[in-house]
Chain A
């Protein structure tokens, strides 16, 4: 079981200008591996993730999971992916349990599987106490945990996490990163996009550095150190942004955050 992106390309038009958001990005992730997709704002991380999931149609290239291609069987891809993003909201007027039941149903879980699954996730993510509370009354951290549970409800082999800790405090982020480690142990593949570089350095097995819509470095931390000559991710980033000729394309993301 392999997750791979093949030469993903995406252009956007903005005010008559053509902007290259993602340019020939290819990488692959193995089960049990956490892949850190890192880069400065506007490098094309979010667009790449959305293309893998089929939320944005690439101009060219495709993603492949378990032999299914995103351009041919988008639903098969969606079925195998759990998706958490910073922008994902919760249904204000439903309780966490209702949201989880709804998504379990949407992803095709059998009715008798749903309750045990929700209880297990509730224990794991510490959301049991407020499972029956209306989501409008939950705190940001609690909501993000509900979202995490929502993404995991169908037990997907791949998790795509787009800044899952945005807006969370230290404890909240820690819960999320602990959980990423747990997913890794369970043999799941994780694509993680974050700006918390130190945490990323701790949980990720391999990294892809996106800069100005291109994947310019890829490898384990050691490999990156050799490639860049820098000691850790933070230094690599600073060095990257300083270099004027790192890429020739203008670096803006018109897709932005919604």
Chain B
């Protein structure tokens, strides 16, 4: 929100310069030229070049050495323990029959080992398509005793041979699959079972296995090892049987030669994820941050320190444009750093053959890396904007550095969290800055991306970036920063000399940014409280009041914003209240249709029934919630879901925020921004259904914003909001009673079309009434001078 007045850009006024008039040029081309200058300045600076080039050159080789050492140590200790695999067996044999088979196999393996010790070493037996074991084994002289039975030698992930671990066949867990329609893939994907052994018995030769199939989860290293080991054992058994058969024709035909094969499980969502994959995006993100920090400080605080900021602010360009140019410059350096780092990393990974280790069998593909790179650019844009906010605030290089250190340390937290393989990109995680991009990048590398959380992650990052850049524009080059001398914290919190009719956009945005984490913490707190449902509802009300009412009220009063005009608490003319009531009664079927439409859209885009599945999940979730709430009094439901949010949210979003924005921005910009903020807050509130709320809540925000703008008061919005929430809440609360009424849809049924039709007609009356009521001005705005 720059202080510049937007009017002047568009006017073609002639300046008394005699020979020429200023030309009106495109904003984009001007931003481009501004950015070119910033880039020139940054890229000629050797300090930029140092972080840009030297860092990847030094960091990656060092990192890879450290990483290999760490891994080898780690694996060494891991393989010293015994590894027991969980095998599931699918067979027609009865459990006791299978035990017999297993016993026979163990005996045969002992025999094989006495004949050819070392044959079943994995480096020979490993690949299923390799024909090495038999051929080599045959040639070796028998040596008895010295070798232990059926030894398993683990191959370290890095390709080196580590210490052997001996586990006889019988010590592994063998579970028989009893249900005939069990899905192997689910078993494998869940990680309960390392490999599935499928023994097919032929009908004609009842005592012989016609086919032996080993099912493996390719995504899990443990599963691959288990399968490889089993395959080697089976090859051994076959070989011994073959020799025995050659020696004496006859014998137990069940042990006759059967070809075995390993089949990869196509199960997409492997939960046994590679814990190291997240390191790749983490390192890239940290390096990108490193690249962006210096130019961000230099182009803001540095410019102020060198005395060039004043001349720039004295020029007739909007501050937002200067800032966007600076953002482009910082982003370019960050992306350049990122590119060099990606190149450095790929080279390192290939040179040290770390790819299968870090990512899995499929290795590093170009497609993956370009997706990760795309995410990196998105993240760099967001983080550069964030850096510019902080550095715009600083008056000197030193001050900026002091501000940035905590920010960087703070970003290490989510960075380290992302390394935990159990952490999934879902719910609030998808909206947590930095963490969401890291998790998404990890999922991309594991080829395991879920559409909805990915969309939340990308959308929220864009949103944070936009918020940051607008905040930066409102701080950058203000006289306080330009000429403020002290730098003491007191200055930032000094209330103004004169009371103000409305909050400044700065103050409102500050409030918005503050409320975001507060809201998150309060939602988390609510989840942890152990209280019965009635208390829970009371807490919900109290928290909503605290966050959206008391905090904004306190901040605004401290900054001497007057209550009535600042929050739009003046009583409006009756037609607005009437229109609000009509809309409050009629909008809910339309909101529900919007949500259904959204699910249909998901179906359409994904080309599957993902939207329907999602809908079912939400219905189930809502049913469960409604069930809980029915234990509480309906009055509490009214309080927690209707009265409190209606007043508090209007108080902040349409009151403080929208009215503050209206002082500097056009009506539609202010309404749109407050509606988006309103939608984003509801989306990011962390519930399962949250993502569904974005579009309907933003649309509601637009209606409420328009209403508040026209009435110059938040009261009509409070009425609309209250009625709407009360209806939606009570529909769920009284669902069992209501569904007994004739013609009432069940909870899974869509709303009858004629209901939507009537609602549309009534809502249209409300909109019509609102649009023909002239805009009301509660007070004449006081003269600005």
In whole angstroms, how far apart are the Cα atoms of A88 and B312 in the complex?
10
Closest to A13 in B: B494
Residues on B with C-beta less than 8 A from A107 are: 22, 315-316
Contact check, B314 vs A93: say whether CB atoms are below 8 A apart. no
Contact check, A79 vs B485: say whether CB atoms are below 8 A apart. no
Which residues in chain A, 2-56, are within 8 Å of chain B measured between CB atoms?
A: 11, 13-14, 18, 50, 53-56
Q: Which of A57, A88, A134 has the largest count of B CB atoms less than 10 A from its CB?
A: A88
A55-B479, A94-B40 are known contacts. Are A75 and B4 too (CB-CB below 8 A)?
yes
Residues on A with C-beta less than 8 A from B307 are: 87-89, 258
A94-B37, A258-B307, A258-B483 are known contacts. Are A78 and B45 too (CB-CB below 8 A)?
no
Type the 1/0 row for B361-398, where 1 means its CB is closer than 8 Å to any CB of A. Answer: 00000000000000000000000000000000000000
In whole angstroms, how far apart are the Cα atoms of A61 and B784 in the complex?
10
A197 at the interface (CB under 8 A from B): no
A202 at the interface (CB under 8 A from B): no
Type the 1/0 row for A95-128, where 1 means its CB is closer than 8 Å to any CB of B. Answer: 0001000110111111001000000000000000
B17 at the interface (CB under 8 A from A): yes
In whole angstroms, how far apart are the Cα atoms of A80 and B5 in the complex?
16
Closest to A60 in B: B785
Q: How far is the CB of B565 from chain A (nearest CB, A)?
A: 20
In whole angstroms, how far apart are the Cα atoms of A1 and B17 in the complex?
12
Closest to A87 in B: B307
Q: How far is the CB of B318 from chain A (nearest CB, A)?
A: 8
Contact check, A109 vs B20: say whether CB atoms are below 8 A apart. yes
Residues on B with C-beta less than 8 A from A156 are: 15, 17
Residues on A with C-beta less than 8 A from B22 are: 79, 107-109, 154
Contact check, A94 vs B41: say whether CB atoms are below 8 A apart. yes
Interface of B is mostly: loop
Q: How far is the CB of B618 from chain A (nearest CB, A)?
A: 50
Type the 1/0 row for B8-48, where 1 means its CB is closer than 8 Å to any CB of A. Answer: 11010101111110111100001001100100111011000
Residues on A with C-beta less than 8 A from B8 are: 73-76
In whole angstroms, how far apart are the Cα atoms of A114 and B471 in the complex?
34
Interface size on A, residues (CB 8 A): 58
In whole angstroms, how far apart are the Cα atoms of A157 and B18 in the complex?
9
Residues on B with C-beta less than 8 A from A179 are: none
Contact check, B314 vs A83: say whether CB atoms are below 8 A apart. yes
Closest to B308 in A: A89
A255 at the interface (CB under 8 A from B): yes
A155 at the interface (CB under 8 A from B): yes
B769 at the interface (CB under 8 A from A): no
Closest to A7 in B: B785
Residues on B with C-beta less than 8 A from A214 are: none
Q: How far is the CB of A59 from chain B (nearest CB, A)?
A: 8
Q: How far is the CB of A18 from chain B (nearest CB, A)?
A: 7
Contact check, A55 vs B482: say whether CB atoms are below 8 A apart. yes
A256 at the interface (CB under 8 A from B): yes
Which residues in chain B, 478-524, are within 8 Å of chain A measured between CB atoms?
A: 479, 482-483, 485-486, 494, 497
Contact check, A157 vs B16: say whether CB atoms are below 8 A apart. yes
A71-B785, A73-B7 are known contacts. Are A85 and B310 too (CB-CB below 8 A)?
yes
In whole angstroms, how far apart are the Cα atoms of A177 and B572 in the complex?
63
Contact check, A50 vs B483: say whether CB atoms are below 8 A apart. yes
Contact check, B5 vs A74: say whether CB atoms are below 8 A apart. yes
Contact check, B20 vs A61: say whether CB atoms are below 8 A apart. no
Residues on B with C-beta less than 8 A from A59 are: 497
A90 at the interface (CB under 8 A from B): yes
Residues on B with C-beta less than 8 A from A92 are: 41, 306
Contact check, B41 vs A76: say whether CB atoms are below 8 A apart. no
In whole angstroms, how far apart are the Cα atoms of A68 and B633 in the complex?
64
A254 at the interface (CB under 8 A from B): yes
Q: How far is the CB of B40 from chain A (nearest CB, A)?
A: 6
Contact check, B314 vs A155: say whether CB atoms are below 8 A apart. no
Contact check, A155 vs B41: say whether CB atoms are below 8 A apart. no
Contact check, B9 vs A75: say whether CB atoms are below 8 A apart. yes
A56-B483, A80-B15, A106-B315 are known contacts. Are A258 and B497 too (CB-CB below 8 A)?
no
Subset of 27 A-B contacts with CB under 8 Å? A13-B494, A55-B482, A57-B3, A61-B785, A73-B8, A74-B3, A74-B8, A74-B316, A75-B8, A75-B318, A76-B8, A76-B316, A79-B15, A79-B316, A80-B16, A89-B307, A89-B311, A90-B306, A102-B37, A105-B30, A108-B24, A109-B20, A151-B311, A154-B15, A255-B485, A256-B485, A258-B310
Binding site for B on A (CB under 8 A): 1, 11, 13-14, 18, 50, 53-57, 59-62, 66, 71-76, 78-81, 83, 85, 87-94, 98, 102-103, 105-110, 113, 134, 147, 150-151, 154-157, 254-256, 258
Binding site for A on B (CB under 8 A): 3-5, 7-9, 11, 13, 15-20, 22-25, 30, 33-34, 37, 40-42, 44-45, 304, 306-308, 310-318, 479, 482-483, 485-486, 494, 497, 784-785
Given A14-B486, A75-B318, list of 9 further CB < 8 A pairs? A53-B314, A55-B482, A60-B785, A89-B306, A93-B45, A103-B311, A110-B23, A113-B20, A151-B311
